[in-house]
Structure 1
Amino acid sequence: MADPSLEVCPDFAGDLYAAIRTDLVNATGTTHEAVAERLRDAWTTGHEARILEWNRQREEEAQAEAEIEQARAVREEEERIAREAEAEKDRFDAEKKKPKMNGFNATVTVGDAIAPRPSQYAIQKLNNFEYVELWYFSPDGCKEAMKTSRSIADDTFSLAKLDDQLTIRPASAFKASRSALPDHELPFSIFLRAKNLFLMQANAAKWPQTHLDALALFFWHLENHSIRNNSELGDLVILHYASRVRLDWHDRLKRDEGFNIGIINESLLRSINEEIWDRVRSRTLTASNNAEQTSAQQQHRKTSYRDSSDPKRRPSRSRSPSQTDNHKKADGFPTPDKGKNREQRNKGFSRGAGSRGRSACAICLGHFAHNIQQCDSSNLWDKTTPAHSCRTQDGRIISTNGLPLCYRWQRPGGCTAENHDSAHICSGCGKKDHGAQTCPRGEKA
């Protein structure tokens, strides 16, 4: 549509419109001038209406264009803000990844002592709130960490998964030591030193204070537990308890089944104590049996060598039956009596190695005739004094508190083995300076 304001009113009084005027004059009975004037008025009215319509359309178009321009401006502003936010995020991420050096207090000096530094592997475990052996915080673990930190190149890295993303970390953070020991194999003094550094490093790794308090209470209870004074294996029992419980604590925390590690489970501690004592008894008895077998074999070899080297004890191959009957006169020894030897062997089974009569029973300390190999009396020979030892189902002798006892130590000949001194205890009274044969509680022979 063209702009109506540019239109020019036609000349309705001219010759071009003469025919139209004539028709209108005849129809209306007016003059040519009046008809031309009416035609001009009609055109002017239409012209003004067209101008109004034109202006209205122009205003609408201008408004629409303004709205479009405003929307474009808003969109561009939003895009600009998004670009700036993305750029700010990139700058923030870059700044976050960039190593930072904190400031320092110009008036503060280095401390009087510097705590040993564990390996990067142990520190990474703490940062991830994972279980790590206390060996890494022991003097040996820290010394190895110092050596390995010098030998591993600084540009050696490994991939790691962190928050569903792969990250690059130093290889030393993932390298476990081949020299690491489980907690229960540490000497108890080293265990106490290592747990102190462990708690310090866990605090530096921002472990929750409730967890740190529970661990501190856990170690304090174990260090001061009465079993350390009441049992020869108390320290070993404590180490096994600490090793197992702390590992189980970390496993439970991962499954959201955490418990208060600072509360000591006495039933579990007793179970571990019994388990360790069973191992010690088994090893002690095995060592004792092996020593007895070795001693018997050596004695047998000595006897065999002595008999073979003594001409008087060598049997004559050319001896006739009559000479055999007169064996006593020929070499001074009587002819062996198989029945008599068998009887002597049966008697020797309960008499012991001495010549004073029957040896004392290791359980009841009695010299009276009974099967000392199977005696399991709860009292001594006097039937009133409680026995200090008892016999297990497999025939072993143990004290009433479960300590395995050396059987040879209770016999007249004693025991010379040095690999199980802890089992050299009197089965009648529990003292270490004598065996059952000389125990003051024993029946007088």
Structure 2
Amino acid sequence: MEQIQIIDSKNHVGETVKIGAWVANKRSSGKIAFLQLRDGTAYFQGVVVKSEVPEEVFQLAKGLNQETSVMITGEIREDTRSKFGYEIGITGIEVIGESNEYPITPKEHGTDFLMDHRHLWLRSSKQHAVMQVRNEIIRATYEFFNTNGFVKIDPPILTGSAPEGTTELFHTNYFDEEAYLSQSGQLYMEAAAMAFGKVFSFGPTFRAEKSKTRRHLIEFWMIEPEMAFMHQEDSLEVQEKYVAFLVQNVLDNCDHALDILERDKELLKKYTKLPFPRISYDDAVELLKKNGFDDIEWGDDFGSPHETFIANSFEQPVFILNYPKAIKPFYMKPHPTRDDVVICADMIAPEGYGEIIGGSERATDYEFLLEQIRQHGLDEKEYSWYLDLRKYGSVPHSGFGLGLERTVTWLSGIEHVRESIPFPRLLNRLYP
């Protein structure tokens, strides 16, 4: 008898199989017991009919507690009433591990309670679906960059300097030196691009920012491509193709997960249409001012309400181009005809999900960068290796960073970024 996973049920209709699973829920009458089973790949129903099994099997089924692990024996059959489409007619049950007084019951629980039990909350159908969307985004990311000639390079997590200033870094001792947890791998990816042409990284980053918004995490994952011999306009095309590719693959491969999340698939399909709209920072400020945002002035960074309004004006991901130089990092290329803005763009997701990509063309002039480093109060010695990149065959190059968790939150249609990562690190939360 073959042991299968629930997700493969469609290939075994009419066959008697074994499945290792957990009991997510159950209900029973005098003559039939229904078990909601999950095995990590999918959920489906197991049916135990009293007249078709020994009495001890039926009584065992009726007495199973939530999250008890079992080995089920039975016949796979079609079930047109369920979205999954299949169920198992159970003939045998072996209890593997008992579960008593499981804390997350089928009722409403507060957020703090669920976060304290995150190690168990991951088992619920909605959280499971979000992690499936996350996994698909990760899988599709590797496919996109691997098929487009990029080489994956892993930048260090421990660094001696900060790419975007020193105010939001986690400090640690590195033997007899000062070190920080990385807030971006970008500078190292620039070095890698000078060696390999097109590169990308995919790893954890850290921000010691005391933020409590629904868009912020302390620890999160970033995808950071960097491309030599590429100007900003070409980079924007890569960015929109990449995001549209992610959306399409989630639609193609996470159909059941999107159903569980009650995500509007027709809305997601709109986000695959290219090109994405673009608006300059200047015009974005004017758009906001004309629509009652009296709190915004040229030179300000946009907050969540501003980004949401701008994105909703286009109903698609939108690029905001060329922000003021004063609110962007030191490494961005200055605009050729203006001293007050740099060549950069943020991609803002629709539906109020905010910035998911930040990118720019990088400055290539050695003296300009040296002056920027000094003006930002950064240590020239710490950045000497970065300046070397402008001394030995510098070329135009551009890159960007996409936040994985914000993208998962957006495509899943969930409210808070804390549900987009298995074990979130938030302000005042380091457990579990």
TM-score normalised over the length of structure 1: 0.21
Q: Which structure carries more relative contact order (alpha carbon 8 Å, separation 6+)?
A: 2
Between Structure 1 and Structure 2, which shows a larger proportion of strand residues?
2
